[in-house]
Copies of this chain bind each other. A is one copy, B any other.
Amino acid sequence: MVSQIDLQARKRAARAFFEKFKVIINKILRGEDPVMEILARTRANIVFDEERKLLLPGSKMLTRKFLDKGEAKRFANTLLMASLIYDALLNDEYPTIRDLYYKGKHTIVYRDLKGRRREENTWNEQKESDRLIVDVEVFTGMLREEMLILSKEKGKVVGNMRIRSGDDIIDLSRMGHGAYAIEPTPDLIEFIDVDAEYVLVIEKDAVFQQLHRIKFWQKNKCILITSSGQPDRATRRFVRRLNDELGLPVYILTDADPYGWYIFSVFRSGSISLSFENERLATPSAKFLGVSMSDIFEKNWLTPKERKNVIIKAKEEDIKRAKEMMRYEWFKNSKKWMHELKLFLKEKKKLEIEALAVKGLKFLAEVYIPQKIQTKDWIE
């Protein structure tokens, strides 16, 4: 019933798990102190790889000990989490990260050295158990998706391509007015036929619907994707694979505001909190197509009157975020991005993609996007 692809993925993950944790078990069996060698995930151990344009973990390792009062709980909890995941792998289960939180959350009752009854919870908040899942990822060198841990997904795709997912072959050019919702484990997807020249990622689902409905992807030979806001891991990995394995250039279209530009930077360089995963989730060659501040204030896409009608005053939080972004390595080292951010802080104005409707409802699809791509008017 369950697909062969999943069964193989399970076996692969269970074997890798077993190999990794065997080291700890053997230490215990030999009467040695159990320790885990694990990559440090502190902010100080994250580096921006200028050449590869990626946020990556540095080389600092830490040793987590069981026989250390300050580390015993985290050590025990990491092993508890690992055993929950391993059990799920063996039992053909597909936990979500929240399932793992609930499955492992319990109270340990014990007596201390003076014989007093004590209680201790394994964990209280989901952010604690989520951190343990990352510990297991980093220790085993596997992404949680490879361990068949599922999650909420928002990404959608249409275009001239066929894929194999599970036991099915799906034609992404035959989705009618709907779309294909990307699976939580995009590494298990096989690309079969692809007849496209580039990938266009749209921040906004409603704009995606619109471009899909006029078959933009067919006319322009592209793969059309929406991240529905801040991209989830599966959408990022899917985009990366299209770029990496098929050599398709990736263009990203967002609102003209710091939130939109941050979405681009997550696609391109990754997020600080997931530095371990960035190496496989980020697409370093992704290009920001628009909407840029220079599109609005230095180029002639809009007349001053049109601009006045659709421009929005930036909020305090936009300004704060822009100032933060000016301190990020990967913006700081880009003249074009610094120009954008300075222009934003000078004008204190932002613009939504849909504002281009003042030029007519076909302007975005028939003029703006094709011209920007043709004239290579993007920011890296």
Binding site for B on A (CB under 8 A): 1-3, 6, 88, 91-96, 98-103, 105-107, 150-154, 156, 163-170, 174-185, 188-189, 204-207, 209-210, 213-215, 218-219, 228, 308-310, 352, 354-358, 361-362
Check A105–B310 contact: CB distance below 8 A: yes
Check B183–A180 contact: CB distance below 8 A: no
Which of B96, B189, B209 is within 8 Å of A354, CB to CB?
A: B96
Which of B2, B177, B178, B206 is within 8 Å of A214, CB to CB?
A: B2
Can you name the residue of chain B whose Cβ is closest to the Cβ of A179? B181
Q: CA A215 – CA B3 in complex, angstroms?
A: 10
Q: CA A22 – CA B325 in complex, angstroms?
A: 54
Write out the residue numbers on chain B whose beta carbons fall within 8 Å of the beta carbon of A219: 1
Check A102–B355 contact: CB distance below 8 A: yes
Give the most central of A180, A215, A228: most B CB within 10 Å. Answer: A180
| A309/B107 contact (C-beta < 8 A), A6-B213, A95-B361 known | yes
Check B179–A175 contact: CB distance below 8 A: no
Q: CA A154 – CA B326 in complex, angstroms?
A: 34
Check B184–A209 contact: CB distance below 8 A: yes
Q: How far is the CB of A160 from chain B (nearest CB, A)?
A: 13
Q: CA A146 – CA B199 in complex, angstroms?
A: 31
Check B165–A93 contact: CB distance below 8 A: no
> What are 7 sample pairs from A and B whose C-beta atoms fall under 8 A apart?
A94-B361, A95-B210, A98-B206, A101-B354, A103-B357, A170-B178, A178-B181
Q: CA A358 – CA B101 in complex, angstroms?
A: 10
| A105/B309 contact (C-beta < 8 A), A150-B213, A170-B178, A177-B188 known | yes
Q: How far is the CB of A42 from chain B (nearest CB, A)?
A: 29
Check A228–B152 contact: CB distance below 8 A: yes
Check B176–A209 contact: CB distance below 8 A: no
Write out the residue numbers on chain B whose beta carbons fall within 8 Å of the beta carbon of A151: 206, 209
Q: How far is the CB of A368 from chain B (nearest CB, A)?
A: 14
Check A177–B156 contact: CB distance below 8 A: no
